Chains A and B, each alone.
Chain A
C-alpha cells in the first residue's frame, strides 16, 4: 500500500464522516435471494476465528 493510497483512504473517510447519508437499498421489491448475499457474508463473519489471526496480531503488538 502506497502513501497515496492511505491519503486517499483518509480523505475519503473524512468526506464520509461529513456528508454521510444512510445506506439505502433500492426502493420497491427486493428479491428474496438478495438476503442470501447477506447470509453468505454473515456466515463467514460468524465462523470461529482461526488462531493464526490472533497469533499474528499478538506478534505485531509485541514487536512494537
Chain B
C-alpha cells in the first residue's frame, strides 16, 4: 500500500474538495450505522474514525458520482469485521448467548423505547443485524445492501426477514433483554454503573 502513488496526485483540486465534502456529509450516517452494529457509542465513533482514515487513503478509488454512503459503508463494515475477528467486540455475537437472553423472563407490558429496539438488535447474529440495519434503518434497497455486504440479494432478503421475525417475537412476547448479563455491552454498562455507585453517585440507581 505504501508504494502506491499518493492518491491526491491524480485528483484535481475540485475533485478533492468534492470528495472531502461528500465524506464529511456522510459522517452522521457512518455514526448511525456503526452505533447500530456495535452498540457502544465510543467504540462506534472509533470505528468511524478508522473508516474516515481508510476512505481518505483510498480516495482515488472512489468513483465520483457514485454513492459515498454505500462506498464508505463497505469500508466501515470491513473495519468492523476485522475488529471483530481480533476479538475486539468478542462475546456479543455468540448465538448461544443471544438465545439465553431471548429466553430470559419476559418484562411487563411497556411502551417500546428506542433503547429496547437497540438492545434487541444487539442480540441478533451480526449478519442479520447488519442486513436489518442497512435495509430497515438505513433505507438501502435489498440490492444495495447485497452489494455492500457482498452477498446475493436473496441472502439479504432472508437475513432481513429473519431479523424482523426475531425482533417481532421479542417485542410481542416482551422478551427484549432488560439487562443482559451475557451481553458484554450490558455487562460493561453494569460495571460503569457500579463505578458510579462506588463513587457515591449511585443514589438514583439503587432506589430504582
Interface residues of A (CB under 8 A from B): 1, 3, 5-10, 12-17, 19-26, 31, 33-34, 36-47, 49-50, 52-54, 56-57, 60-61, 64
Q: Tell me whether A45 and B28 are in contact in the complex, defined as CB-CB below 8 angstroms, given that A53-B49, A56-B52 are known contacts.
A: yes
Of B63, B74, B112, which is in contact with the most chain A CB atoms at under 10 Å from its CB? B74
Interface residues of B (CB under 8 A from A): 1, 6, 8, 16, 20, 23-24, 27-29, 31-33, 35-36, 45, 48-49, 52-54, 56, 58, 61, 63, 66-67, 70-71, 74-75, 78-79, 112, 114, 117-118, 121, 132-133, 135-144, 147-148, 150, 161, 164, 167-168, 171
With both chains docked as a complex, state the minimum distance between the C-beta of B67 and any C-beta of chain A, in angstroms.
Answer: 7
Q: Tell me whether A1 and B23 are in contact in the complex, defined as CB-CB below 8 angstroms, given that A17-B66, A23-B144 are known contacts.
A: no
Flag if B78 contacts A33 (CB, 8 Å): no
Flag if B35 contacts A10 (CB, 8 Å): no
Shortest Cβ distance from A45 into B: residue: B28
Q: Tell me whether A57 and B20 are in contact in the complex, defined as CB-CB below 8 angstroms, given that A16-B143, A33-B117 are known contacts.
A: yes
Flag if B61 contacts A6 (CB, 8 Å): yes
Flag if A60 contacts B56 (CB, 8 Å): yes
Interface of A is mostly: helix
Interface of B is mostly: helix
Q: Tell me whether A23 and B142 are in contact in the complex, defined as CB-CB below 8 angstroms, given that A14-B63, A43-B114, A53-B49 are known contacts.
A: yes
Q: Bound complex: CA of A14 vs CA of B28, how far in Å?
A: 24
Q: Bound complex: CA of A38 vs CA of B36, how far in Å?
A: 11
Further contacts, 8 of them, CB under 8 A, given A9-B71, A41-B133, A45-B29 = A13-B71, A14-B66, A16-B67, A25-B135, A33-B117, A42-B32, A44-B36, A61-B20
- 8 closest pairs, A vs B, by CB? A23-B141, A41-B137, A44-B32, A12-B147, A45-B28, A13-B66, A9-B74, A37-B136
With both chains docked as a complex, state the minimum distance between the C-beta of A21 and any C-beta of chain B, in angstroms.
Answer: 6
With both chains docked as a complex, state the minimum distance between the C-beta of A36 and any C-beta of chain B, in angstroms.
Answer: 5
Query: A26 contacts which chain B residues (CB < 8 A)?
Result: 161
